[in-house]
Amino acid sequence: MSDSKQSGASPAGNGRTRLFPIVPLILLIVILLIRWDLFRDGLWSLTAGLLLLVTQPSRAGAAFNLRLLDFWIASLSLSAMIVWLSWRLLPMNKSGEHQTATPMREALRRLHRNRLVKGASFVITIFVAAALWSPLLAPVDPNHQQDILLTRLKKPMESLKYVNLRQPADTSGASSSLLDRWITLNRRLLNRDEHILYLTDIRLSDSTVTLVQGNTREIIPTELLEDLLPDSRTFLFGTDKYGRDIFSRILYGARISLSIGISAMIVAVVLGSLVGVLAGYYGGWTDRVLMRTVDLVLAFPGLFLILLIVAIFGNSLLWLILILGLTGWMGVARLVRGQILSLKEQEFVLAAQALGYSGARIVFKHLLPNALSPVIVAASLRIGTIILIEAGLSFLGLGVQPPTASWGNMINEGRDSLLVAWWISTMPGLAMVLVVTSFNVIGDGLRDVLDPRIKAGV
């Protein structure tokens, strides 16, 4: 019996494990093929930008646009993920069947058996991937506004015809400099929707085309169009009152919400762990001063304190991360302090002190790793709370400012149109509910496998 348990998973489990690299790899290759033009241009822009940074740093810096980082990160990370999944499929990289059992592996195995946690992890993975690859996945630029009279307040799954206007011929041939070609490539990336013209009807004649846009008509020569037959674009989640695609804005809004939630959580965990370790290990006046500071900060109403700091220091993305992190570390500090107080009397700590180990070594090598279980649980639950706080600030106009897409300001923009355009607020609201609920489910699952009282049946 013991040999069979140590030999690894069952054949069915091995089959499911083997499917892990295959299914995501197929999906990523499909995304790559569908968005090949954007992916290729993003990689070429990154390569040329790195070359110009070495050869012509001043001119490259002057022509650089911060929005290019979106396409660079998306293209590079998609390439890296495809390479990694392909590498996992190689025969030499089969997972070992005789891995030594450790508490962490046992905890992960128990967590893997929780179907709710698996479903929540899948949801979080989808949203993280969507946020990371949003420049490639978004149908249009999230702030793109064009032909508003036609595109505004389109219902979910409603379609609209459009034609592609012929672009001026690219005169930057082989004789042009690398910088000129890089600038042309970047312009194509950043203005990918400028050549689209939405319409309700198109009428062809011998040498001209009549484009009908509602009550207006425009006659243009046929050579100005890429194709005489119009294409159709379906707005998956509809559009807002400015004609912006809701689905694209939700993808880009996920980047804001997840980056703020995870970054602020890291700030809170690092600061709270440091304060808790110092208070618990050294005790005395250090403990009293730090814990009274925690009590003092907790005495202020949380939302009022956040609003006060935002009003004083501003609401840029960096400030929001710092504010939400610096107002959420107190609970972590109390958790870590309690763990350290119980651990520092254990025999392994007393033995380390008897051997003359320094306080820093005892804290960071022996105490802190053994106190991380409740911190991990608190951190996973804290992410959902931070996302809700950020959305609330954006809803009040104190968070991320328009036109930058954020789930909170998207809900705010649709609050006056709930009866006629319910999808403007409902779609980002549903996305936020899914993400926050998933983080809470994962936090509960981590608590179940890491809390010794639950494992012991107390």
Q: Tens digit of pLDDT per residue, the chain (458 long)?
A: 444 444 444 444 454 555 667 888 888 899 889 889 899 999 999 999 899 888 888 888 888 888 889 999 999 999 999 998 888 887 766 554 455 556 666 777 777 788 888 889 899 999 999 999 999 999 888 988 888 888 999 999 999 988 888 776 655 555 468 888 888 888 888 888 778 888 888 888 777 888 888 778 888 888 888 777 788 889 999 999 999 999 999 999 999 889 999 999 999 999 998 898 888 888 888 889 999 988 888 888 877 888 888 878 877 888 888 888 888 888 888 888 888 888 877 777 778 778 777 777 777 777 877 777 788 888 888 898 888 888 888 888 888 888 888 898 899 888 888 888 999 999 999 999 999 999 999 888 887 777 655 454 44
Q: How many independent structural domains does the chain possess? A: 3
Please report which helix (H) or strand (E) contains residue 308, including its range.
helix 302-313
> Residue 63 is part of which domain span?
2-97
User: Residues 219, 321: one domain?
Assistant: no
Q: The dihedral of CA 357, 363, 369, 370: what is its sign?
A: positive
- CA-to-CA distance for 227 and 212, rounded, in angstroms? 16
Identify whether residues 52 and 195 lie together within a single domain: no
The answer to the question of residue 375 being in a domain is yes
Residue 106 lies in a domain: no
Residues 182, 263, single domain; the answer is no
User: Interior CA angle at 336 toward 121 and 376, to 5°?
Assistant: 5
Domain's final residue, options 215, 235, 255: 235
Residue 136, in any domain of the structure: no
Helix axes 68-88, 115-132, angle to 10 degrees: 130
129: in domain: no
- Domain membership of residue 107 (yes or no) is no
Indicate the pTM of the whole model.
0.84
Same domain, yes or no, for 231 and 250?
no
With respect to residue 403, please indicate whether it lies within any of the assigned structural domains: yes
Task: Please say which residue of 79, 97, 115 terminates a domain.
Answer: 97
The reply to whether 292 and 344 lie within a common domain is yes
Residues 202 and 257 in one domain: no
Task: Fill in the amino acid letter for 401.
Answer: Q
87 within domain boundaries: yes
- Tell me, yes or no, whether 141 lies in a domain: no
Boundary residue ending a domain (204, 235, 266): 235
- Domain identity same for 199 and 289: no
Q: Are residues 335 and 272 in the same domain?
A: yes
